[in-house]
Structure 1
Amino acid sequence: MAMLRPVLPVFEYVVNQDYIAEYLCVNKDKPMLNCNGKCYLSKMLQEEQDEKKQNLPSINMKEYPIGFVDILFCDFTPQTLENDQLPEFTSSKPRQFTASVFRPPIIC
């Protein structure tokens, strides 16, 4: 619903454009402006934006102190592998493992 809030005044304006232009328009006595209720739309959008700003929570930075975090140092010593611990590869060609798992559907 929060995503639709900015769109609602525009939707309301489009649906009720004739009524807004005739009864709610501030500039209806000035036809050369060709307002047609756009003044009402801009007023509604401004009110929506002001309401959105008022609803934002205020954060007091004194309540949330930011400090430095100690970095933990880990000892990463390289491990050496013996020849008998290395995996054996039977083929130097890359093997496609997906062929055995994924099969096309059978047409009956």
Structure 2
Amino acid sequence: MLLLLIVVKAAVMPAICLDYELRKEYITKNICVNRNRPQLHCDGKCYLAKKLAESQKQEEQSAENTYLASLIYQVMDTANPGLFTLQPVPHALHTESAEFAYTSPFIPQVAARQVFRPPLYA
């Protein structure tokens, strides 16, 4: 699956160039911005440049979104999905009330804290 995705991403730019070469005559006559000025010898290269720039921009946005998603996943505490958790707060005088504590998903949490605890002395 990953290999297929890599091959597809690598084939995007050559596919755009191949599309340009196959439809060069049509692009030159109908789509080119400079079709009315043949002395510029654009021959649809403006269309090709625009398509390649769009592809590059889309690839950069995809990479940025992937990076942000992985960053958020690393920062969030996946073991505790709730932001607000009910945690008893110890007081000098023991009362039956509990207070709410806010756990931010953007502050790194150590997952091992829930597994390991200090030794209990009896």
TM-score by structure 2 length?
A: 0.48
Gaps of 5+ in 1: 66-108
Q: Distance in 2 between matches of 1:6 and 1:19?
A: 20
Q: Equivalences for 1:45-84 in 2 at 5 Å?
A: 45-56=52-63, 57-59=66-68, 60=71, 63=75
Deviation at 1:35, TM superposition (A): 0.4
5+ long unaligned stretches in structure 2:
1-7, 77-107, 109-122
Which residue of 15, 36, 41 maps to 1:34? 41
More strand by share: 2
1:20 aligns with 2:32: no
SS across alignment from 2:13 = coil
What secondary structure is seen at the aligned counterpart in 2 of 1:36? coil
> What value does the CA root-mean-square deviation take over the aligned residues?
1.9
Deviation of 1:3 (Å): 1.4
Structure with greater helix share of residues: 2
Give secondary structure in 2 for the equivalent of 1:2. Answer: helix
The number of residue pairs the alignment matches comes to 65
TM (normalized to structure 1)?
0.54
Displacement after TM superposition at 1:58 (Å)? 2.7
Flag the structure with larger Rg: 1
Distance of 1:5 and 1:30 partners within structure 2? 30
SS across alignment from 2:42: coil
